[in-house]
Amino acid sequence: MNITIFGSGYVGLVTGACLADVGNHVVCVDVDAAKIERLNQGEVPIHEPGLDDLIRRNAGKGRLQFTTDAESAVRHGLFQMIAVGTPPDEDGSADLRYVLQVAETIGQYMDEYKVVMTKSTVPVGTADKVRARVAESLSARGATIEFDTVSNPEFLKEGAAIEDFMKPDRVVVGADNPRTAELLKALYDPFTRSRDRMIVMDVRSSELTKYAANALLATKISFMNELANLAERMGADIEKVRQGIGSDPRIGYSFIYPGAGYGGSCFPKDVQALERSAREFGYEASVLQAVEETNRRQKQVLFRKVERHFGDALKGKVLAVWGLAFKPNTDDMREAPSRELMESLWKAGAKVQAYDPVAMEETRRIYGERDDLCLCDTGEAALVGADALVICTEWKEFRSPDFSRIKSSLSQPVIFDGRNLYDPTLMGGFGFTYYGIGRGQPLPV
């Protein structure tokens, strides 16, 4: 099939590469000429395991192309996928300007039947706006061409996106026309051959499904962090509690790991956007507000622990930070807990020696050169001369380090573990002062 994808960011690139890999001819179009040039040179602008090879292989075979030519791109594809950004507006609602600009472009250049698909995470009712904008653009040309609009939200986890696309647990399609549902079934059939994973519903239900999924996962994280903070005040160990409740199949173990708060491009933005959408429909979504507020507070927990430990002596101290990305296997630092920590440390007059396996360039892009930030080539280098170690991201290489080396490298044997990677008893045996999340050490009131 011929497919056009607007937007060459995370969703667009993963979607395009995976669709091309099963034999489709995919054209990705973007207004960023520099990005398109990099992609045409074989440079992938994001970190996602396996994506580089997938893009290069399919581009080399001519199944995957990148262009800034919107006109030729529109005429190429039966499927017109909209995968552009929907950044938060000033009030937290999703900004649809780029989505609607693409809809207008499709209407401007289409010359035969198209299936216009929203892959971007968008508020309920967006497909109606997309349909109206395409129709307006066609009308302005005096053209009468049939098209359908479809909601087809993505459910890709950063760090495992290719696996998620190739072996989806579900493919959600919001379609009002049975014909388009059949076309989408044919499109996704190569990925759902073992069993039918496609769930067809009305468009608005599909749009809400994406927000509901992310909001529910964020709710589980915030609820567990709330329990962790309570466990600290009660002298309980949240990791024991997690095992106790996770063994209940009605609850399960997924997304009940306490930590330093959630980040990334999806959960913070989507919870906020859904809560703002609720207001537009005259509903006060108090649970979503609490999830958002709990996460905002949780991102301050690591700094509060550091501040409580060092007190007035924090100024001038050097903190080693392991992990800068918001989660492992990505270089994405949007809304990352590490940023909240480092910026709070700098305000307090402390310095940071940081290491992340893949997010170093992204850190340089965000913060530039600073006297109070040293980006180190290894985790071990970040430890040298530091007054304490803070763990922000649970990369595998941090899970079983040489604790004797850590202790000898630090000027003080102190670890602030924002992901509960280590056992407090073991750390005590090594002579560390150890602070986890919800491990029984009280927070300052």
Is the CB of residue 30 less than 8 Å from the CB of residue 36?
A: yes
Nearest CA to 392 out of 337, 445, 346, 330 is that of 337
What are the CB-based long-range contacts (under 8 Å, 24+) for 393-396? 393/322, 393/323, 393/324, 393/325, 393/326, 393/327, 393/328, 393/336, 393/338, 393/356, 393/419, 394/259, 394/323, 394/327, 394/328, 394/419, 394/421, 395/322, 395/323, 395/328, 395/356, 395/357, 396/328
Q: Which residues of 78-103 are buried (b: 16+ CB within 10 A; e: fewer)?
A: ebbbbbbbbeeeeebbbebebbbbbb
DSSP reduced 3-state for 172: strand
Q: Within 77-177, where are the H helices? A: 97-109, 126-141, 161-166
Sign of CA dihedral 394, 297, 217, 246: positive
For this structure, is 374 an active site residue?
A: no
Nearest CA to 109 out of 151, 150, 167, 67 is that of 67
Is the CB of residue 274 less than 8 Å from the CB of residue 267?
A: no
Dihedral of CA atoms 260, 265, 267, 269 in degrees, nearest 10, equals 120
CA dist 207 and 226 (Å) reads: 29
H/E run at residue 66: strand 64-67
Give the contacts of 203 (CB within 8 A, at least 6 positions apart).
127, 128, 149, 150, 151, 174, 175, 176
DSSP letters of 345-400? HHHTT-EEEEE-SS-HHHHHHHH-S-TTEEE-SSHHHHHTT-SEEEE-S--GGGSS
The residue type at 360: M
Choosing from 266, 374, 376, 392, the catalytic residue is 266
Residue numbers annotated as active site: 266
